[in-house]
Structure 1
Amino acid sequence: MARVSQEHLDARRRQILDGAARCFARNGFHATSMQDVLAEVGLSAGAVYRYFRGKDELIAAIATEAFAGIRSAFEEASRATPPPTPDVLLGAVLRLFLEERIEGADRQAFARLIIQVWTETLRDEELAKTLAEGYHGMRVAWAELVTAYRESGILRADVPADHVARTLIAVAQGFIAQQALFGDVAVDILEDGLRGLMSMSVDPV
């Protein structure tokens, strides 16, 4: 029997995750069955269950991967000289997850999927743990980026780095919520808004 390469296994797992994400985004987490996922990815039950035992594992994997991708982007940014400003960085990350991976009309559905993941944590302890770990990782990555801003001389040093990190994460979460609730919220709007706020200056009294 031919040996299956790791590249093949990784590609199959990617196929399943992408198909499941499309299903969840289109129909909602609870309204999507594993049969829907099987039909979407065009694989047998045995092939899918080899990787994931059910919807809970699929949604946890999607959430974990998203957090890992976002954290990686922030960590890479913190190593740049000078690091990209928040408007540029948040714009790039949100564009990656809400525009480049998802086609126009489906972006609102995908944002709603993210909201569903958040609400699922209220009943699923394992998913809540995954979300908490991802959130903590993002805070650490953003705090490192804040340090890089300070070392570059572009950010004041009298506000705790974690407070800045939490605020910027809240901006991203709020943007996703707006997309889920109202749709048609271009990332350009967030970039412009942040750029405008960053341009404010207050003369010392």
Structure 2
Amino acid sequence: MARVSQEHLEARRRQILDGAARCFARNGFHATSMQDVLGEVGLSAGAVYRYFKGKDELISAIAREAFAGIRGAFEDAAAMAVPPTPDVLLGRVLRTFLEEQVPGGDRQAFARLIVQVWTETLRNDQLAAILNEGYHGMRQAWSQVVEAYRASGILPADVPADHVARTMIATAQGFIAQQALFGDVRVEVLEDGLRALMSMQVPKAS
């Protein structure tokens, strides 16, 4: 019997994860059954269960990949001589995850999937641990970006880097929540708003 290549195994795993993400985004996590996932990806139960034991493992894998991708984008930015400003950097990351990677272009459905992952952490200890790990990883990555801003002379050092990091994460979370709840929230809106806030100047006392 011919050995299955690692490339084939990775492609099959990718096929399953993408199909599961489409199902969860379209119908919700709890309303989606494993039978729905099997139908979406066009594989047998044995083929899917070879990679994932059930929905919890699927959603955990999706969450891990999302955090890894976002953290990688911030770490790449921190390695630049002059990192992109927060409006550009956040816009780039959100555009990637809410537009380029969303099957069918349904950004609201994908944002709802992210919010579902957040709420699942209240009952799923394993997922809560993944979320906590991802959150701290993003704080660290954003802190590296802040230090790079300071090294390039575009940001003063009077505010702890972690405070800036948590603020930027909260901004992204709020944008995703708006997209999930209300829809039709373009990334350009966030970019414009951040750019305007960054340009504010406190008037000098006369």
When normalised by structure 1's length, the TM-score is 0.98
Aligned to 2:171: 171
Cα distance in 1 for partners of 2:7, 2:104 equals: 30
Shift of residue 183, structure 1, vs aligned partner: 0.2
Which whole-Å CA distance do the structure 2 matches of 1:154 and 1:39 have between them? 52
- 1:122 paired with 2:122, answer yes
- Aligned residues: CA RMSD: 1.1
Q: For 1:1-205, list aligned pairs within 5 A.
A: 1-102=1-102, 106-203=106-203
Distance in 2 (CA, whole Å) between partners of 1:36 and 1:188 is 35
CA distance in 2, matches of 1:87, 1:81: 17
**Count of residues in Structure 1 that have an aligned counterpart in Structure 2:** 205
Aligned partners of 1:174, 1:203: CA distance in 2, in Å? Answer: 29
Q: Give 1:126's aligned amino acid.
A: Q
Partners of 1:199 and 1:135 in 2: CA distance: 28
Q: Which runs of 5+ in 2 are unaligned?
A: none
Q: Which amino acid aligns with 1:98?
A: L
Q: Point out 4+ residue stretches in structure 1 off by more than 4 angstroms.
A: none
Give distance in 1, aligned partners of 2:132 and 2:102: 25
Percent of residue pairs bearing the same amino acid type: 80
Q: Deviations over 1:112-171 (max 9, x none)?
A: 111110000000000000000000000000000000000011111000000000000000
Structure 1: unaligned runs, 5 residues or longer: none
**1:101 Cα deviation (Å)?**
1.3
Alpha-carbon contact 2:19-2:37 (below 8 Å) kept: yes
Q: Contact 2:83 / 2:149 at 8 angstroms: preserved in 1?
A: yes
Q: Partners in 1 of 2:7 and 2:200 — Cα distance? A: 50
Report the Cα offset of residue 103 of structure 1. Answer: 5.0
| Aligned-pair CA distance for 1:35 | 0.3
For 1:104 and 1:139, the matched residues in 2 are separated by: 31
Q: TM-score, normalised by structure 2?
A: 0.97
CA distance in 2, matches of 1:104, 1:10: 23
8 Å CA contact 2:22, 2:103 repeated in 1: no
